[in-house]
Amino acid sequence: MSWTVTDNGFTQENIAKNGNTFMIGNGYMGYRGTLEEYKKEQLVAVTLAGLYDKVGDKWREPVNAPNGLWTQLYLNHTPLNVLQMDTQQHFQEVDFRFGIHRRQSVFLAPDGNQITFKVERFASMDNLHLLAAKASICCSEACELTVETGIDGEVWDINGPHLDSFHSNASELEQPIVLSAISGELKVPVSIAQSIRLDGGEQELVHSAPSIYRRIRLHCQAGVPYTFESFVSVYSGRDGVAKPEVTAVHDCQQALSQGWDVLRQKHDAKWEEKWALSDVTIEGDEEAQFALRYSIYQLLIIAPTESEKVSIPARGLSGQVYKGAVFWDTEMFMLPFFLHTDPGTARNIMMYRCHTLEGARRKATEYGFEGAFYAWESQDSGDDACTLFNVTDVFTGRPMRTYFRDKQVHISADVARGIWQYYSFTGDESILLEGGAEVILEVARFFYSYAYYNTAKERYEILDVTGPDEYHERVNNNAFTNYLVKQALEITLETINLLKERHPEVFTALVEKINYQRELVAIPLMLSSMYVPLPDLTTGVIEQFDRYNTLEEVSVKALKERMLDKHEYLGGGNGLATTTKVLKQADVVLMLHLFKDHFVKSIKQANWEYYEPRTEHGSSLSPCVYALVASDIGSPDWAYPYFMRTATIDLTGESKQYVGNLYIGGTHPAANGGAWMAAILGFAGVHFHNGVVHIQPAMPKDWTSIGFSLKILGQSYTLRVTADQVEVISLDDNTRSQSFCVAGRELECVAGQFLIVNDLTQDQRSTEEASVG
C-alpha cells in the first residue's frame, strides 16, 4: 500500500495546490510544498504556530518566517529552475508515512548537458525547531555549476510585511549563517540559522538584503553526484528562550554534528510512534485507505503536541488564510481524533481556550454581555480577529457586512463542550482545576446574559444568532445553537456538582473569584425552561430556525443558475440563498450527530432526507456530517460518497477557493478530522457515552474490515471491525476494565483480554473471550 502522493511534470497552475498537497510540518511550523527555487511569488511559507502580527489597518495574521532552505542552481549564469526552463523529467512528492518531501528535476542545457537535481527535506518531529534537507546534483557532462543556498528574507505575506529590522551577524563563510528580524506589532524577535555540510566546492557569503546565502562553485565531473545537507533552526521570542538567535545557532551546530542520517532516524522513529497510535487500516478499499491515511497525516503535522498556548487554525499551518485563526472547527471536527488517539494533544487544544478566557471576557463586555463570549476567529490573546466586513461584493467591490463575529454565539458552547469531552474521555480533572471549570461557568453566565425569556411562552430563547448555516444570518432559535446552549448549561451544573463533591475548597474560591452567587441560582432555572425545537409530529423534521419553513423552496441547482458571477457570496444581506431554504452546510444534521442519543432512527433519517438536497456544501465541514448521520441510521451507501469527498479534499484540491473575492485556499484540517470521524465514529460505529464504548458498525459494501487504536480513560485498545464481527484487544499494560456495548451486547474488557463478538446482525450474538499473548 502506497504512502506517497506524487505529481509528475510541472505546470504553473498547480503551484498553489501543490503547496498545500505536499506540505510538511511538525506542529511548531508548517512548510508549504514548494520547490527549492521558489520565492514569495510562488507562495513559499514557513508558518509559525501562535505568532501573529498586524500591520496598520490590515487583518492580523500569522507570521511567516524567512525560508532557510532556499536553493537556486546556475549553469553559465543561466538559472536552472522549473519556472524558467523546461524539464526533461520532473516529479514532486510527499511520503506521508514519514513526512518527507521530495523533488527531482532533470534540466536540459542548450549544449545537451543533463543536470539532475534531487532534494529531500523534512520538518523534524524530534526537534520541532529544525528543518533538514539533503540535495544531490549530477551532470551528464563535465561543467561548472553555481549553487546559491541560504535564507530568503523576502517573505510571502497576505497582509504584511510582518518582519522588519533584518540583520545578520554572519561574517565570511561563518558556520552557521543567521538572519534575524523583529515583528512589527509586538516586537517579537525571530531568528533563522542555517548550516550546511558540503562535498567540495568554493564558497563565498552573499548579503543581499534582506537575504543571506552562500554561493558555491562546483566543478562537476560527468556522472558524479555532488551532495550537500542543509540544517535550519527557527526560534522566536515566544519560545521561552532568552536569546532566540543564540539558541538557533546552537541547534544548527548540533544538527550539523549529527548529520542527515542520524536526524532522519530520530525523525522517523517519532513518526513510527505517531502512526502506532493513530493509523487506521482499511481492507478492501485501497483508495479509501490512501485518502484516510493522508487525512490523518495532515492532522499530525499541525498538532500542538508541545504547547497549550496554541491550537489548530482553520487552515492548519498552510499559510495565512483565514488570518491563521482558530475557529469552532477545532473543537467540533479535529478534537475527536485527538481525544481517541492522543489525549495529551487534546488537552493542549482545550487548555488553549482556558488561556484565552480573558479575550472571551473582553468580547462579552464589548457587546454588553457578561461571562465568556469566545472569539469566532481566535488568535494568541483570544480577542476576536474576525472583522465585521469579511466578504467583498463581487459586483460593487464594496465590503459586505457579515454577522460571523457577533452572532455565532454557539462558539462558546462549542468550547464548553470540548472541555467537558476531554474530561469525560480521560477522567483528567486537572483541566477543570486549571481553568476549565472557570471557562465552563463563564460560558453559562454569557448565555444567561444573552438569552431572552419569553414570558408568554414561559421559556428561554436564543434570538438573533447565526448557526453553522451562514447563509441565514440573524435568525431566532436556531436548533443547533439552542441544543448546544442547553448542553452548556447541563455541563455547568455537572461541573459545579463535581467541584462541590471532590474539590469544595476550589469551588468556594472560584465562586468568590468570579462572583458567581447569582448564577448558582439562575442557571438551573434557565436550564429547566430552555427551549429547544422538537421534531414535527407529522414529518419528524426539526425546523432549522423560526420561520425557516416560510422560505422559498428551490433546488441548489436552480439557485446556482441564478448566479451572475461564480464567486458571488450566497449569504450576507442580499445573497441569493438568504430568502430560500438552501443552506450552506449541515446544521440540524450536525446537531443530530452531536445528540445522537436523543433521537430515534426515524427522526434522524427524516431530517437527513429533508436537508440533504437543500444543502449546498459551501463549507468543507459539511460532507462528513452527512456521512456520519447516514452511517448512524444504517445507510453506509449514502455515507460513502460524502466520506470520500471529505477524505480527498486536499488530494484533489477540489474545494471552494473564494468567498466573494476573498481567497480561502489552503489545507482543510477540519475535513481531515471529519474523514477520521466518518470512518471511526461512522462506519465502525464507535461512540463513547457515559463511560461505555458503544460499537454499532455500518460498513461500506467493499470494506472487508477496519482496524484502529483507541485511548479511553487512560487505557489503550486495538480494534478490528467487520460487517458482522468486532474484535477488541485490551493491552497488557492497562490498569482497569472498560465497558463495551457491541451491537447492543454489554461486555466488560479487562487488561490483556481479547474479545470477539460475532454475528452482529443476528438477535443472538456469540461472544468469545481469550487472553492476549
* Exposure letters 42-59 (e unless 16+ CB within 10 A, then b): bbbbbbbbbbbbbbeeeb
Compute the distance between CA of residue 207 and CA of residue 69 in angstroms, rounded to an integer.
16
Half-sphere exposure at residue 4, Cβ-oriented, CA atoms within 13 angstroms: 12
Q: Confirm if 633 and 604 have CB atoms less than 8 A apart.
A: yes
Of 120, 308, 438, 470, the active-site residue reads 470
* Exposure letters 589-607 (e unless 16+ CB within 10 A, then b): bbbbbbebeebeeebbbbb
Q: Hey, CA dihedral for 712, 717, 722, 727, is it positive or negative?
A: negative
470 is annotated as an active-site residue: yes
Compute the distance between CA of residue 440 and CA of residue 516 in angstroms, rounded to an integer.
12
Phi and psi (nearest 5°) for 7? -125, 115
SS3 assignment for 219-254: EECECCCEEEEEEEEEEECCCCCCCHHHHHHHHHHH
Contacts for 164-173 with beta carbons within 8 Å, 24 or more apart?
A: 166/209, 166/210, 168/207, 168/212, 169/245, 170/205, 170/212, 171/205, 172/204, 172/205, 173/203, 173/204, 173/205, 173/214
Compute the distance between CA of residue 169 and CA of residue 192 in angstroms, rounded to an integer.
12
Phi and psi (nearest 5°) for 757? -115, 120
Distances (CA, A) of 765 to 383, 611, 746, 761, 771: 54, 35, 11, 8, 20
C-alpha cell at 544: 432549522
- Give the helix ranges, DSSP H, for 372-503: 404-407, 410-426, 430-431, 437-450, 479-502
432 by Cβ neighbours in 10 Å (0-12 / 13-18 / 19+) ranks as: buried
Asked if the bond preceding 176 is cis, omega within 30° of 0, the reply is yes
Strands 130-139 and 143-152, bridge-based pairing: unpaired
C-alpha cell at 167: 540583520
CA 322 and chain centroid, separation: 12
C-alpha cell at 94: 510527499
133 by Cβ neighbours in 10 Å (0-12 / 13-18 / 19+) ranks as: buried
Return the active site residues: 470
